[in-house]
């Protein structure tokens, strides 16, 4: 168990600054997911914790100790790589055991630990197999067992599920959540997939261009995005963003838009439009609606009353509307003056 802290950390590759002066705390025992588009610096952060891509300046602390000078193998961290990084010439047992051997754990103890770890991931029958004879999911489990067996205080995972097929990914997601519950150690998980972030994390750290956009619980980051980037990145289909006057933008989630045959006089935001596409997904239906100005809105709902080309009205009530200022930051209700300006802009219409 260990908390992780970044203090004024900067990372450069040559002259290219990837991360600039980041300060960040990751809570002990949390399942923290670093999420963001590719190139945002999330993997760079993870590699700094592991010690395989050290920071250019600043400090990384694990459990309050500066680990800058400590070798990767002595930090008490384990990592699962995107391509699994299983040693191809060793069989499953040797793969799992390699770290223990290097740490000079006696044979009897090793046997017990390997047995334990392989049982946890359901690999006990495959211990003598070579990795090349295993399926993608099984290799993933070998990588997990190899990380687990060392009983690390921090688990690092770099897009571990991205090479699995969709069904297996969903299954492994559940297993990882259960594993975290069982082990109670700090998990730091990197992904570009916001669904993975939302489904597994207890804390989401959203990054873009080397900067942290928001740190919050999944439900908080979804319901209360701090800025336009977060609002657009989290959620699928993405939040609808409409430009008002003075650089003010309005946003609402697709499931908060209500389609009707006639304009709703009580709605705070209402536009007339036409259904352009309809995707029936079984549980819900996603419509895209285009207004006369050519703006497209995504709307999802459990009901499925409309067809393509139908004329509809899209209504949203104020409590589901978010406002963003010129600087792309969220304008909250508490900021009375600015919020009034937003309401004014909304009233004046599109």
Partner 1 sequence: MYKLSQKVWAVAGTILKAILIFVFVFPFLWMVSVSLQTDMEISSSPITLIPAVPQWINFAAAWSKGPFLLYLKNSLTIIVSVIAMQMVIMVPAAYAFAKCDFKGKNLMFGLVLIAFMTPGQITFLPIYQMMSEWEVMDTLLPQIVPFMTNAFGIFLLRQYFMQVPDELIEAAKLDNAGSLKIVYKLMLPMAKPAMSTVVLFSFVSHWNDYFWPLVMTQTTNVRTLPIGIAMLKNTEGITNWNIIMAGNMILVMPILVVYVFCSKSIIRSFAYSGIK
* Binding-site ranges for partner 1 (CB under 8 A): 50-52, 71-74, 77-79, 81-83, 85, 87-90, 98-99, 102-103, 146, 150
Cβ proximity to partner 1: between 160 and 210 the closer is 160
Asked whether the bond before 316 is cis by omega within 30 degrees of 0, the reply is no
d(CA 160, CA 82): 5
d(CA 175, CA 153): 19
Q: Closest distance between partner 1 and the C-beta of residue 97, in Å?
A: 10
Cβ proximity to partner 1: between 148 and 314 the closer is 148
Q: Closest distance between partner 1 and the C-beta of residue 96, in Å?
A: 10
Cβ proximity to partner 1: between 64 and 88 the closer is 88
Q: Closest distance between partner 1 and the C-beta of residue 289, in Å?
A: 45
Of 182, 155, 203, the closest CA to residue 27 belongs to 203
Query: How many Cβ atoms sit within 10 Å of the Cβ of residue 336?
Result: 9
Of 269, 267, 308, the closest CA to residue 287 belongs to 308
Cβ proximity to partner 1: between 82 and 285 the closer is 82
d(CA 124, CA 113): 12
Q: Closest distance between partner 1 and the C-beta of residue 52, in Å?
A: 4
Cβ proximity to partner 1: between 88 and 106 the closer is 88
Where does the chain have alpha helices with state H? 42-50, 92-102, 107-120, 136-148, 166-183, 194-200, 218-223, 228-233, 336-348
d(CA 253, CA 235): 8
Q: How many CA atoms lie within 13 A of 11 on its CB side?
A: 26
Task: Report yes or no: 252 and 239 within 8 Å, Cβ to Cβ.
Answer: yes
Q: Closest distance between partner 1 and the C-beta of residue 82, in Å?
A: 8
Q: Closest distance between partner 1 and the C-beta of residue 32, in Å?
A: 19
Cβ proximity to partner 1: between 123 and 250 the closer is 123
């Amino acid at each position: 168990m260990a908390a992780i802290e970044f203090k004024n950390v900067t990372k450069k590759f040559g002259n290219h600054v990837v991360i600039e002066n980041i300060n960040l705390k990751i809570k002990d025992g949390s399942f923290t997911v670093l999420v963001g588009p590719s190139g945002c610096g999330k993997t760079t952060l993870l590699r700094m914790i592991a010690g395989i891509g050290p920071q250019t300046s600043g400090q990384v602390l694990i459990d309050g100790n500066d680990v800058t000078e400590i070798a990767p193998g002595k930090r008490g961290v384990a990592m699962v790589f995107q391509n699994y990084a299983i040693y191809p010439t060793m069989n499953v047992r040797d793969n799992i055991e390699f770290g223990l051997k290097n740490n000079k754990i006696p044979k009897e103890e090793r046997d017990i630990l390997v047995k334990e770890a392989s049982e946890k991931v359901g690999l006990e029958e495959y211990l003598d197999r070579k990795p090349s004879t295993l399926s993608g999911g099984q290799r993933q489990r070998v990588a997990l067992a190899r990380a687990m067996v060392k009983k690390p205080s921090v688990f690092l995972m770099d897009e571990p599920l991205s090479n699995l097929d969709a069904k297996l990914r969903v299954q492994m997601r559940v297993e990882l959540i259960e594993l975290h519950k069982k082990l109670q150690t700090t998990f730091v998980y990197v992904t570009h997939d916001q669904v993975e972030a939302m489904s597994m994390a207890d804390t989401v750290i959203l990054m873009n261009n080397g900067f942290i956009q928001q740190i919050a619980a999944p439900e908080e980051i979804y319901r209360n995005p701090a800025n336009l980037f977060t609002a657009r990145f989290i959620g699928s289909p993405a939040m609808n963003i409409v430009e008002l006057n003075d650089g003010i933008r309005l946003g609402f989630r697709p499931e908060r838009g209500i389609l009707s045959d006639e304009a709703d006089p009580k709605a705070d935001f209402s536009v007339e439009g036409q259904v352009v596409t309809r995707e029936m997904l079984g549980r819900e239906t996603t419509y895209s609606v285009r207004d006369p100005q050519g703006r497209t809105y995504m709307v999802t709902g459990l009901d499925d009353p409309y067809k393509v080309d139908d004329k509809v009205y899209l209504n949203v009530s104020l409590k589901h509307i978010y406002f963003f200022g010129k600087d792309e930051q969220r304008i909250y209700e508490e900021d009375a003056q600015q919020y009034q300006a937003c309401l004014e802009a909304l009233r004046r219409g599109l």
